[in-house]
A and B are shown apart, each in its own frame.
Chain A
Amino acid sequence: MKIKNLTTSFRVLDDYYAAVDNVTLTVNKNEVLAIVGESGSGKSALAFSIMGLHNRAKIEGTLDFKGQNIAKYSQGKLNKLRGKEMAMIFQDSLSALNPLMIVGAQIDEALLLHNSSMSKKDRKVRVIDFLSKVGIPRPEKTYEQYPHELSGGMRQRVVIAMAIANQPELLIADEPTTALDVTIQAQILDLIKDLKDDMRAGIILITHDLGVVAEMADRVAVMYAGQIVEIADVYSLFSSPQHPYTRSLLNSLPNSAETKTKLHVIQGVVPPLHKMPREGCRFRHRIPWIDESSHEENPELHEIKPGHFVRCTCYKDFYFPDKHKEASGNGAT
């Protein structure tokens, strides 16, 4: 999958605003690409655009999936791809499943839609097979159960089974573990890793949790305000993060070496979609101590090492201000 200059705009009042702004990305087979960002960064909007699930957004750019530009596909044509060659895992398994349908029938639907020739009996065998593959202990019983009868971890497994039922080549996981307990989260992440090795699919992992990224990703794209601000392989990103936003994010996490210290706070808030600055470096208002001249007028992604891209030139001059001055409550405005 190659994403080129993708822009997804939503109508707010009487204007279109880009939630995803000119994003170019590639996901290869058997690779986990993590997309990291906070709420409002556009990461989920990006995932929905790839799947063609936005119904009131304007989408520009190309989505090259195995040589075909699917951005131009009709919904009917997309339906042949969705659930078969690309599938999605959702965050909240309770609301992602139909409460009035048994779990088996919901996975069965994914099979039925793309394998019309398969008999009902064969499909049931396959569904039960997939349920046990995602680590559900009594798949025959679970097949007949309703979503609310399962625990959060089991439900998330069902959602995953549904996504992989047709062995997709591209899997988009939108915050797949955010709603789960830590021990369950670890199990689900292991499951996704195993499945990746099994299916050799490309996975786009969307998350706000840098710990999950460090554990799962091969490459990482950091998004801020609809743009990618940094892309690198996971090792370089964590060992030598460049963009001020990436560095600030990493710095704001509690660190096991120092406890009871002040955490780094990023000044200000992500501006709402219709107030987003459209020109210059979008992060500049949140690092006001950095001289205006270090920003580019039209920030571009610069390749600073093979495969490591950073937007804007401000990363060169970035430093953290005195911690105490920084952290004392000025994040309030």
Chain B
Amino acid sequence: MALLEVKDLKVHFPIRGGIFNTVVDQVKAVDGVNFSIEPGQTYGLVGESGSGKTTTGRAVIGLNKITSGDVLFEGHNLAKGGRKSHLNVRKDIQMIFQDPYSSLNPKKRVADIVAEPLRNFEKLTKKEERVRVEELMELVGLSTEAIFKYPHEFSGGQRQRIGIARAIALKPKLIIADEPVSALDVSVQAQVLNFMQEIQKELGLTYLFISHDLGIVRHICDHIGIMYKGRYVEQGASEDIFTNPQHIYTKRLVSAIPDLDPNRRESLTVKRQQAKKDFDELSDKFFDEEGLPYPLKPISDSHLVALPEKG
């Protein structure tokens, strides 16, 4: 059974306007998204800015109000009931944020940052809490003396580890990682990615990995969903997406990945321009009248593409 199943998720934000500030329109940030994640897997949610990938992640964890649809986590429908409901389920879902510099409160010590979820959900004595925090620090590879320091005393990679320690404090099952490495330098990025894979094995974690960087997504994800304007354009196993992209938008994204071999420069440029040309010429066929992708249709067991009705 899937750990997380998202069914026809919609998140619409009202646009207010007019003299009386009434709702005049809706921004359909997420407009009918379906996906499911099996336990222990890493699911990549890819898209450019404004595609709705972050909103989807935030809706799953309850940070954005869900307009309609279901979010089933181990059979509990998180979309029903308010923020306060399903408290015991919610602690099984945690989030890692993009910016390790602004997601940690600069005025709190690391010990308090990491212990915060523990204090919210578990009643521990001071001593028990201390032991747990130290365990967590060891788990993320930071020294236990570090717990009395403040976030600014750490490097970017270390801060992201603190963020991870906070996220895994309650032994969650699902972690939503929103661009966890895009603010980091290449070498630090490698550290954090390795580490995320390690603790995944160790703790049996499932990741919803939100990113715009296809290189990283390819490296770390089992399944990938590509979002465009709040909808899916393609979904499949990592290999399906990268070796056999079907939608013009996916092709364009894949062709935009930089290649480390300067000898392939020319061919890449040609490929990229072809992808752009296809995208411009075929968008009438691949998108509906409003310029939005069509519903997904399976083309193989694991691979779904948003193709028009006619096929």
Contact with A along B221-257 (1 / 0, CB 8 A): 0000000000000000010001000000000110111
- Which of B158, B242, B259 sits near A332, CB closer than 8 Å? B158
- Which of B215, B256, B263 sits near A254, CB closer than 8 Å? B215
Report whether B189 and A252 are in contact in the complex, using a CB–CB cutoff of 8 Å: yes
In the complex, chain A residues 222-270 whose Cβ is within 8 Å of any chain B Cβ: 234-235, 238, 248-250, 252-256, 259-260, 262-266, 269
User: Which of A74-82, A95-103, A177-185 sits within the interface?
Assistant: A177-185
Q: Does B186 contact A (CB under 8 A)?
A: yes
Q: Does B48 contact A (CB under 8 A)?
A: yes
Bound-state Cα–Cα, A238 to B215, Å: 18
A269 contacts across to B, CB distance below 8 A: 155, 157, 188
Distance (whole angstroms) from the CB of A82 to the closest CB of chain B:
30
- Which of B195, B256, B276 sits near A182, CB closer than 8 Å? B256
Report whether B142 and A38 are in contact in the complex, using a CB–CB cutoff of 8 Å: no
Additional A-B contact list (10), CB under 8 Å, known A211-B259, A264-B190: A183-B256, A185-B256, A187-B276, A211-B260, A235-B263, A249-B187, A254-B215, A328-B198, A331-B157, A333-B143
Q: Does B258 contact A (CB under 8 A)?
A: yes
Q: Does A59 contact B (CB under 8 A)?
A: no
Bound-state Cα–Cα, A249 to B185, Å: 10
Report whether A254 and B219 are in contact in the complex, using a CB–CB cutoff of 8 Å: yes
Report whether B268 and A215 are in contact in the complex, using a CB–CB cutoff of 8 Å: yes
Distance (whole angstroms) from the CB of A307 to the closest CB of chain B:
15
The chain B residue sitting closest to A269, CB to CB, is B155
- Which of A152, A181, A217, A238 sits near B260, CB closer than 8 Å? A238
Distance (whole angstroms) from the CB of B195 to the closest CB of chain A:
6
Count residues of chain A with CB under 8 A from any CB of chain B.
Answer: 45
A333 contacts across to B, CB distance below 8 A: 143
A235 contacts across to B, CB distance below 8 A: 262-263
Bound-state Cα–Cα, A265 to B212, Å: 22
Q: Does A39 contact B (CB under 8 A)?
A: yes
Using A182-B256, A254-B215 as known contacts, say yes or no to A214 and B187 having CB atoms under 8 A apart. no
Distance (whole angstroms) from the CB of A36 to the closest CB of chain B:
10
- Which of B187, B263, B273, B276 sits near A38, CB closer than 8 Å? B187
Identify the 4 closest CB pairs spanning chains A and B, nearest first: A211-B258, A254-B219, A329-B141, A263-B190
Q: Does A210 contact B (CB under 8 A)?
A: yes
Report whether B194 and A256 are in contact in the complex, using a CB–CB cutoff of 8 Å: no
Distance (whole angstroms) from the CB of B70 to the closest CB of chain A:
30
Report whether B190 and A152 are in contact in the complex, using a CB–CB cutoff of 8 Å: no
Q: Does B193 contact A (CB under 8 A)?
A: yes
Q: Does A208 contact B (CB under 8 A)?
A: yes
Q: Does A190 contact B (CB under 8 A)?
A: yes
Report whether B194 and A262 are in contact in the complex, using a CB–CB cutoff of 8 Å: yes
Bound-state Cα–Cα, A265 to B142, Å: 16
The chain A residue sitting closest to B187, CB to CB, is A266
Q: Does B49 contact A (CB under 8 A)?
A: yes
Q: Does B161 contact A (CB under 8 A)?
A: yes
In the complex, chain A residues 151-192 whose Cβ is within 8 Å of any chain B Cβ: 152, 181-187, 190
Report whether B219 and A210 are in contact in the complex, using a CB–CB cutoff of 8 Å: no
- Residue among B187, B259, B276 with the highest chain A CB neighbour number at 10 A: B187
Distance (whole angstroms) from the CB of A207 to the closest CB of chain B:
11
B215 contacts across to A, CB distance below 8 A: 211, 253-254, 256
- Which of A38, A187, A330 sits near B185, CB closer than 8 Å? A38
A211 contacts across to B, CB distance below 8 A: 215, 257-260
B158 contacts across to A, CB distance below 8 A: 332
B265 contacts across to A, CB distance below 8 A: 214-215
